[in-house]
Structure 1
């Protein structure tokens, strides 16, 4: 690698719109351009404020952003993340536009991330690739045999460097501008099926103090109960403090989040939840963060219940948002069945990659 392709760690600015925010803005623009180029969608854009709040939040997860410049222009970047209490894996996003590939940028960044992973004593690297909704060339099937993605320069780079495509995620969207009669009908059916042992509770963050510990427990179960193929996922540790820190990051990024959850009345614990998030602009795309029915409460139509309840609630919170975007593992047929019954339609895909360091 020549000196012109030296890797720098990005220094975080004091604010997303301050005089020292040029690099952060360039990183955000590169991230958004990658999503548009690879998935052919503008749905996955970040704002600089959202990017900054995520990178700055290091209480529970560490974040490092590395960049490469050529002639003063940012031509490649990589964001590395890892849980401070979870010892196994590092995950990262590798960002190089097609026009800047083939000059060593992507190889230098990937080598740096592997070096950092080893220096941290971690043994697993995990990353994602984005793919368009329709395939027109050679494809790859994941180790799960669920789903398929088209080969891209980034997927070829991962294959060459010893990564395995472990899982395919489907990106689906729901049109919020149309009628919601079906959603209301599905909610009514789900409430009847759940019965008196389950009660719907809803809030806009920050989470009420009396619900934080229960919400923390439910969030921790995402690492153990969501389909994860052969990915090495450490069990996450959550408490009320971690919930508060997470919500501060979301709010600091100018975002609004609604939570619909189900309380199991006999135990007083949350049994399921769904999260919807929007940025500062009222016409922004809505993103679903997490949806989970805890394993011991499955079979009571709680997934349908929380998703439909939150969609109906969301119409009053973000009436101008055009659609909801969500990702689900292709092997997660129960959740995909719910999505399809409500009216979600697939628009793009993501590949989840893993490399074990030995």
Structure 2
């Protein structure tokens, strides 16, 4: 058996499509209602690389047959995130170990910590054998679309919710950046390394431009009380992959929790999503919530989300 690992050049479209297909097929084994990045989305993402992020795309072949793939990314002074997929018929042959070794070799001078995600107990066992430890487990929950929305939208007394699509209005930009920073400090990460997100309005604008360039519609809602921003939520709808929509952050200030603001934000944002022509072909909304975050799990269940599977995130030394 001849096992070979090569680096994928994003500018080589045929190779990039083959690599993305390997990841897509590997991720889907034994799972249902799985998000799969389309080839067009992969092209948009990797042919327009992040200016400060180091990325590597790897393809594994046995005797010339593609059997596995990996992608890894690292921002300066942050853990290197890696995802590995091996086709079902080629597992337990050392493919994942070789791919992980190649990732470690690539990022040895870039990061000191590596972080991996898996949806299977076999994947957890593999990561543990490579020196990683379980950091956090998250419930992947899905909501079938379209959804019949309550009418009118119920908003707590004294709270206003504003919804829009696209970039944050200039008048709300600073508040959005502050809430985003507080979200990064508050989200349950278990034993994972926490990276602070500064309240940087320019970073918000850069991220918005990148997401739009990659074909995403940004569906957003912000809650305010007494003229102060107290919470926000965001949904990402890819023009390339409209079937599966992504519920991203939802955050409410600690002093304002327990008043129904999170529900009001999510329902307002769902209403905005359902009003978009681009959502006509959307079949479900996907979100992730830490198993320790009981209030958000309960809120999601009340809205209609159902658990699809469990994501385990592990972390350990790169070396």
TM-score, scaled relative to structure 2:
0.89
Aligned counterpart, 1:179: 148
2:86 and 2:169 mapped to 1: Cα distance? 41
Aligned counterpart, 2:53: 61
- 1:199 aligned residue (137, 141, 160): 160
Unpaired runs of at least 5, structure 2: none
Aligned counterpart, 2:129: 160
Aligned counterpart, 2:21: 29
Output aligned runs, 1:109-128, within 5 Å: 109-120=99-110, 122-128=111-117
- 1:311 aligned residue (270, 273, 283): 270
1:91 and 1:248 mapped to 2: Cα distance? 23
CA, structure 1 residues 57+298, in 2 after alignment: closer, same or farther (shift >3 Å)?
farther
- 1:263 aligned residue (224, 248, 256): 224
Give the CA deviation at 1:221: 2.6
Give the CA deviation at 1:333: 0.7
Are 1:212 and 2:201 counterparts? Answer: no
Task: Decide whether the 8 Å contact of 2:38 with 2:240 is kept in 1.
Answer: no
1:354 and 1:260 mapped to 2: Cα distance? 33
Task: Decide whether the 8 Å contact of 2:137 with 2:290 is kept in 1.
Answer: yes
Question: What is the number of residues matched between the two proteins?
Answer: 316
Give the CA deviation at 1:296: 4.4
Task: Decide whether the 8 Å contact of 2:144 with 2:285 is kept in 1.
Answer: yes
Task: Decide whether the 8 Å contact of 1:212 with 1:239 is kept in 2.
Answer: no
Deviation string 1:154-180 (CA, Å, 9 cap, x unpaired) is 222112112222221111111223432
Aligned counterpart, 1:143: none
Secondary structure of the 2:126 match is helix
Are 1:294 and 2:292 counterparts? Answer: no
Give the CA deviation at 1:98: 2.0
Secondary structure of the 1:107 match is helix
CA, structure 1 residues 63+74, in 2 after alignment: closer, same or farther (shift >3 Å)?
same
Unpaired runs of at least 5, structure 1: 14-19, 132-150
Give the CA deviation at 1:38: 4.3
Give the CA deviation at 1:281: 6.0
2:4 and 2:315 mapped to 1: Cα distance? 26
Q: What is the root-mean-square deviation in Å for CA atoms of aligned residues?
A: 2.4
CA, structure 1 residues 205+222, in 2 after alignment: closer, same or farther (shift >3 Å)?
same
Output aligned runs, 1:98-113, within 5 Å: 98-113=88-103
1:222 and 1:52 mapped to 2: Cα distance? 30
Give the CA deviation at 1:26: 1.2
Deviation string 1:177-198 (CA, Å, 9 cap, x unpaired) is 34323xx47x41xx12xx32x3
1:59 and 1:199 mapped to 2: Cα distance? 37
Deviation string 1:124-153 (CA, Å, 9 cap, x unpaired) is 21111024xxxxxxxxxxxxxxxxxxx22x
Give the CA deviation at 1:303: 1.2
CA, structure 1 residues 290+178, in 2 after alignment: closer, same or farther (shift >3 Å)?
closer
Aligned counterpart, 2:35: 44
1:207 and 1:72 mapped to 2: Cα distance? 48
Aligned counterpart, 1:352: 313
1:255 and 1:357 mapped to 2: Cα distance? 32
Aligned counterpart, 1:141: none
Aligned counterpart, 1:148: none
1:289 and 1:298 mapped to 2: Cα distance? 19
TM-score, scaled relative to structure 1:
0.80
